[in-house]
Amino acid sequence: AGAGARCLGMDALLADRGHLVMVTDLDGEAARATASTIGRGALHAAVDVRDEAQVGAARDALLQEVDRIEVWVNNAGVLRDKTFAKMTLEDFRFVVDVHLMGAVNCTKAVWDTMREQNYGRILMTASSTGLFGNFGQANYSAAKLGLVALSKSIALDMGRFGVRSNCIAPFAWSRMTSSIPVTDEASVGRPRPPTSSLIARCRSSAYMTPPSSWVSVVMDLIFLFLRLFVLTSQALFVTVVTSVVE
């Protein structure tokens, strides 16, 4: 759930390993574009993760193509940044509903399938902001730390059924954070999310880029493979904090 660029990288790796991938996003065109970039029959659907019916419909559509759902990634997100004094309760609830309740809705939708097949991997995308806080992001940080606790509890609940729940807490720029205003020269040069060209480099392991870019590629690779690791790890719970380096 969530068709951001970092989701693209992980989905591409899963597709390379033979998984049929479905990309969902509130923006149906973004989901289609990501699925098209992944290729290999990747599916796509416009889904509002706050809507249980839409999430259920996406699950049912996927089960019409395959008889198992082995991995579900909760990556959907949104920002409504303001200082707490200026933040409305509506903006606070909206962010929590997308990040936290969206993950609850999606995980609940695939729970019965994973329990019956005695196998499943759930991955929550939290944030370093959830662990350390950030100015003007009380709603976002509360939702992201909630995902950490949710993942821990789901891991304990579902472990006896062969289902693992893991959580990562990256610091990264993405399509979602592109809404943050660029106010200084440092912001202009901030790291950008990986593109399809980066994914091609990930697949080919051909690092023919300048040193500064090479460092960014390495960090993106670490990020992608850590996400892949927690999907296959036998550990009940793993929290990974990673950074994007310019």
Give the residue numbers marked as catalytic. 140
Give CA–CA dist 6/129, Å, rounded.
17
Q: Are the C-beta atoms of residues 113 and 69 closer than 8 Å to each other? A: yes
Nearest to 156 by CA among 147, 165, 148: 165
Please, are residues 93 and 122 in contact by the beta-carbon 8 Å criterion? Answer: no
**What are the residues whose beta carbons fall under 8 Å from the beta carbon of 135, sequence distance 6 or more?**
83
Q: Tell me whether strands 239-243 and 22-25 are parallel, antiparallel or unpaired.
A: unpaired
Q: Which long-range contacts (CB under 8 A, 24 or more apart) does 84-87 make?
A: 84/138, 87/138, 87/139
Q: Are the C-beta atoms of residues 244 and 191 closer than 8 Å to each other?
A: yes
